[in-house]
Structure 1
Amino acid sequence: MTILLKFITQTVFIRTLGKDFLGLNGLFTNIISVLSFAELGIGTAIVFSLYEPLANGNEKKVAALMYLFKRAYTFIGITVAVVGMALLPFLHFLIKDYDQLNNVAYYFILCLSNSVVSYFFSYKRSLLIADQHEYISALNIFGFMVIQVIVQIIMLIFFHAYSLYLWTAVICTFVSNLFISKKVNDIYPYLKKFGHVKIENNLKKVIKNNVIGMIGSKIGSIVVRSTDNLLISMFLGIAIVGLYSNYLLIVTSISTILIKLVSSVTATIGNLATEHDAQKSYEVFTKHFMINLFVTTIASACLLVSLTPFIGFWAGKGYALGFNIVIAIVLNFFIDQIRQTSITFISAYGLFVPNGKKSVIEAFMNLALSVIFMKMLHLGIVGTLTGTICTNIFLNSWWEPLLVLNRGVRLKNIFLIFYVKLYLKNTAFLLFAVSLFAWLIFELDRYLNMSGILAAVVNSVIMIIMLVLLILTTYRHNDSLRYVKRILKSLI
């Protein structure tokens, strides 16, 4: 529902403000994502530390961790504000056509304000997540999202004002966090009772080490996920960012759903880790990976055959990008999404320090390759995405499962079996199948002469049917598929 609301807002945004403002909005979102580096992974590290005291009912320890969280996030919010304001004189370097736009600094300050206010009170959402009550936070976010979208649409239609659009976001973010803060205080009254209890030095040291490890992970995550629009804006212009933003909205929306699906069990895996049953953990890891691979393959295949006709119908043919760019976007989505199994287990097992070291290499490798492919080889948007794809294939695809199996699950002789027989073999097979099915669907499109929303829907339905039949027949004896079947039968 949140994604549907975002599509409605983006549609009105396109119709009222156009490509330049759409590109500016996408660029600001990326800059704010880069500034989120100031968070340093403190949230993830403290959530990991909350599992044990919540499981044991240690209220004083939970309250102490939340007090530390509060102080840390207050400092982070101030830091983001200061660093963001310091970026103002350099905005013209990041925007190729800066001189053709008005009030860029003012708009950026409003975007920055929305990010800064999000750090105050929002830390309490982490307690709900760690205690497996994330649905409370999700409903709160959704409720205020509805209000925000309605008001923003009114501002766009009647006033055509980007500034009022941004002001609405700032106010809704702040009020949403106030409400969730009160809700958490009601659910966990001991937070006030032990409001200023400090954590022990040994626990503080563990959190500090985890945060240091998360710094590397944050660098890698930000460079891989948040610099594409920056590079496109610097070298190709803000209007191209606007075109790419529409594709990014669709892909990110689907990615958000899938990541919620695969990461929702993080706290459960964290509890499983405390049992120290290596064989059971490995079985859960392989099931998680295969289910993630099946779902990701179907989602990627639908995007491949439906993105172009859907963009033409939704935004207009003038907002469409070349099919080579679509292939790069979808392949990047696919590879990044199948990583989420390893990322979920890394978070659940608290493997922040060893993963952080890899992420520093990942950041430099991704940035260097993206610039080389984009600027030196003149591949444009495809070059930026190719840099990310190569980084994921040649580094992340093997490092992260190796880390989970060796340092988390602690089965040191199983990695090659998993990587070759399960990861590479199944990924290559399903990618080949998607390529073949996509070719058949495009040939059918030419014969039927379909376009727009009809082509997008028909292409997706045909692709889903073919892939589901393929998976059901090829993997009928697979434990992961049997597991899914049992869940579906119990639900039905």
Structure 2
Amino acid sequence: MNSSSRLSNSIKNISFGLFAQTTQMVLGFVTRTIFIRFLAVEYLGVNGLFSNILTLLSLTELGITTAIVYSLYKPLAEKDERKLAGLVNFFSKVYTKIALIVAALGLLVVPFLNQIVENSPQKIKEDLIFIYLIFLFNTVSTYFMQYKQSLFHADQKSHIISKYNIFVFLFQNLFQIIVLVLFKNFILYLLIQSFFQIVSNFIISRKVAQHYPFLKKYKAEKVDKETKNKIFSNVKSTGLIKVGGLLVNSTDNLILNYFSGLILVGFLSNYVLLIGLASGLIVQVFSSLQGIIGNINVTESKEKQISTFNFINFANFWIYGMTTIGIAFLMNDFIKIWIGVKFLLPIEIVIALAINFYMFGMQSAVWSFKSSYGFFKQGQYLVILTAVLNLILSFILGYYFGLLGILIATAIARLVTNCWYDPYIVFKLGFNLSPMIYFKKYLKYLFLVIISIAVLFGINHFISFDGIFGLVFKLVLVLVIPNILIFFAFKNATELLSCYQIIKSVFQKILKR
């Protein structure tokens, strides 16, 4: 089990995580570019649509991963090998059942594929059912190693997963690029992903056996009834949260396909890909800290927990805020240079995507602390309300305003539910503080983002450049102007000073190596 310091773990997890995510981002971007050049845009639509369908089927998982990680914090801190082995054995059986259920539900969708994709595009020559079955296999196969990855995450060792993911993803994308260029074959493209999914599962399994040899020693260990009941109680709550979250985040393509068809779904998928690449980098940073947050909340004082939250929430704002500004100001310029004007979406769509990205991202620190405190029951039904509101508003606004209406519906649903309730719970029950402290900072953060975007678009109105030079010039503006505003707004704040101290400590530790 992990005996390194929290700072050392943070450096390893974040550095390897960022390197892995950057590698995936670059390779994913290159592969998508070649995908667009060699395959019809309808394939992008199918890719996005089937991914959403199978994401919805993963509702079967019911958020058990969150409950797993939470249940591992205490035995890891206490180095209780028997308890850990019992939990891992229990989770192994649970995930096997989940995989079988997802497979069964996925097969039940097959007879309805012709209704979901009416008038199959002529440019797609392959059988849609066969394509869907490959997607289903790739989804189901991920469950067999999910519980083992959770052990690494909870033990502050996510860098181990990142390290091997780099090589797997590298070879996967290399072979996919070769297949696209030489054969222009979507089926082979998907089968390569299936193969490397199996390879990844094998590697993770071997690494878990090496790092936690006691799992083999206690392979017959079982979880006591009290622990099992507590886990299932948490799963009921995380399950509702999972259901609501997936219905909010994974239905837009289905509704968009209903109103506008696969081509617009394909156009949107390019924007979603780029935002997903940026989001993946950021999520890697904060997910690398999840185990450390859990350890702090189990072992440290309330004052330490609060100061840790303030630092992480400020860093969360800084990173997500800067990225949001970049999405709003740079996205269309990048798309134009990358794949051409014909793939552009209106600027109001881009702004709506940026708003949803910011609202979702700004919940990151809150969710990390909420789950590490075990506040799974609080807000479990509110998430369902979010999902219901999102679906109703998406159909209403989607009918009148198309894609823009669907995106606005998601933002409204989040605004009136999770955006205020989750921080309320963390501050009220976790920190025993007034939630108004959080909301005042949130409004200050939001104001700075809005002002930054307004200033940038104002400058662009008077000084406008096109092409790569224009993109670089705008990128410099994005990096300079918002940071100047943030510095003057927080130059005397504890959070900014904490950021400086942490960065200084990290560099000192790296230089000593």
Name the TM tier (shorter chain).
over 0.9
Aligned-pair distance for 1:442? 4.1
Paired residues for 1:100-139 under 5 Å? 100=122, 101-102=124-125, 103-139=127-163
Residue 197 of structure 1 aligns to a residue whose secondary structure is: coil
Question: Which is worse superposed, 119-128 or 152-161?
Answer: 119-128
Q: 1:428 aligns with which of 447, 450, 458?
A: 447
> 2-side partners of 1:176 and 1:196: how far apart?
26
Aligned-pair distance for 1:276? 6.5
> 2-side partners of 1:466 and 1:381: how far apart?
31
Aligned-pair distance for 1:489? 3.0
What TM-score does the superposition give when structure 1 sets the normalisation length?
0.95
2:460 is the alignment partner of 1:441: yes
Q: Structure 2: 5+ residue runs without aligned partners? A: 1-22, 509-513
The answer as to whether partners of 2:42 and 2:121 remain within 8 angstroms in 1 is no
> 1-side partners of 2:317 and 2:111: how far apart?
45
Residue 196 of structure 1 aligns to a residue whose secondary structure is: coil
Distance 1:488 1:271, change over 3 A: closer
In the alignment, what sits opposite 1:221?
245
2:93 is the alignment partner of 1:53: no
Q: 2:357 aligns with which of 333, 354, 368?
A: 333
Distance 1:351 1:323, change over 3 A: same
2:36 is the alignment partner of 1:11: no
The answer as to whether partners of 1:366 and 1:388 remain within 8 angstroms in 2 is yes
Residue 26 of structure 1 aligns to a residue whose secondary structure is: helix
> 1-side partners of 2:490 and 2:410: how far apart?
30
Deviation track 1:305-344 (CA, whole Å, cap 9, x = no partner) reads 1110110111111111111111111111111111111111
Residue 386 of structure 1 aligns to a residue whose secondary structure is: helix
The answer as to whether partners of 1:331 and 1:389 remain within 8 angstroms in 2 is yes
Q: Percent of aligned pairs with the same residue? A: 33
The one-letter code of the counterpart of 1:50 is L
The answer as to whether partners of 1:213 and 1:353 remain within 8 angstroms in 2 is yes
> 2-side partners of 1:11 and 1:430: how far apart?
30
Question: Which is worse superposed, 85-94 or 385-394?
Answer: 85-94
In the alignment, what sits opposite 1:284?
308
2:467 is the alignment partner of 1:452: yes
In the alignment, what sits opposite 1:248?
272
In the alignment, what sits opposite 2:16?
none
The answer as to whether partners of 1:216 and 1:355 remain within 8 angstroms in 2 is no
The one-letter code of the counterpart of 2:222 is K
The answer as to whether partners of 1:438 and 1:463 remain within 8 angstroms in 2 is no
In the alignment, what sits opposite 1:471?
486
In the alignment, what sits opposite 1:324?
348
The one-letter code of the counterpart of 1:483 is S
Paired residues for 1:180-191 under 5 Å? 180-191=204-215
The answer as to whether partners of 2:311 and 2:499 remain within 8 angstroms in 1 is no
The one-letter code of the counterpart of 1:89 is P
> 2-side partners of 1:245 and 1:453: how far apart?
23
Residue 353 of structure 1 aligns to a residue whose secondary structure is: coil
Q: 1:25 aligns with which of 47, 54, 76?
A: 47
In the alignment, what sits opposite 2:407?
385
Residue 397 of structure 2 aligns to a residue whose secondary structure is: helix
> 1-side partners of 2:493 and 2:76: how far apart?
36
Aligned-pair distance for 1:112? 0.6
The one-letter code of the counterpart of 2:90 is L
Question: Which is worse superposed, 93-102 or 434-443?
Answer: 93-102
In the alignment, what sits opposite 1:144?
168
The answer as to whether partners of 1:51 and 1:271 remain within 8 angstroms in 2 is yes
Aligned-pair distance for 1:99? 5.8
The answer as to whether partners of 1:302 and 1:463 remain within 8 angstroms in 2 is yes
What TM-score does the superposition give when structure 2 sets the normalisation length?
0.91
Q: 1:483 aligns with which of 494, 498, 504?
A: 498
> 1-side partners of 2:145 and 2:137: how far apart?
15
In the alignment, what sits opposite 1:211?
235
> 1-side partners of 2:490 and 2:119: how far apart?
52
The one-letter code of the counterpart of 2:34 is V
Aligned residues: CA RMSD: 1.5
Aligned-pair distance for 1:275? 4.0
Deviation track 1:123-182 (CA, whole Å, cap 9, x = no partner) reads 211111111110111122221111110111111111111000010001100111111101
Distance 1:179 1:417, change over 3 A: closer
> 2-side partners of 1:25 and 1:322: how far apart?
23
The answer as to whether partners of 2:329 and 2:456 remain within 8 angstroms in 1 is no
Deviation track 1:45-98 (CA, whole Å, cap 9, x = no partner) reads 111111111111111110110011110111111111110111012223322443
In the alignment, what sits opposite 2:337?
313
> 2-side partners of 1:282 and 1:122: how far apart?
31
Residue 406 of structure 1 aligns to a residue whose secondary structure is: helix
Aligned-pair distance for 1:352? 1.4
> 1-side partners of 2:66 and 2:437: how far apart?
30
In the alignment, what sits opposite 2:13?
none
The answer as to whether partners of 1:16 and 1:160 remain within 8 angstroms in 2 is yes
Q: 2:104 aligns with which of 82, 85, 89?
A: 82
Equivalent pairs counted in the alignment come to: 483
> 2-side partners of 1:442 and 1:77: how far apart?
53
> 2-side partners of 1:96 and 1:341: how far apart?
42
Residue 138 of structure 1 aligns to a residue whose secondary structure is: helix
The answer as to whether partners of 2:448 and 2:486 remain within 8 angstroms in 1 is no
The answer as to whether partners of 1:50 and 1:62 remain within 8 angstroms in 2 is yes
Question: Which is worse superposed, 37-46 or 451-460?
Answer: 451-460
> 1-side partners of 2:215 and 2:204: how far apart?
14
> 2-side partners of 1:488 and 1:57: how far apart?
30
Distance 1:407 1:479, change over 3 A: same
Residue 417 of structure 2 aligns to a residue whose secondary structure is: helix
